[in-house]
Amino acid sequence: MIAVTRLDGAHIVLNAEQIESIEQTPDTLVSLLNGHKLLVRDAPADLVRRVIAFRRTIAAGTPPDEESLTLVGDLVARIQR
Mean pLDDT of 29-39: 97
Kindly tell me if the per-residue pLDDT of 79 is higher than 90: no
DSSP for the chain, written as a single string: -EEEEBTTS-EEEE-GGGEEEEEESSSEEEEETTS-EEEESS-HHHHHHHHHHHHHHHHHTPPPPHHHHHHHHHHHHHHH-
Give the pLDDT band of residue 62 (cuts 50, 70, 90).
confident
- pLDDT on residue 19: 97
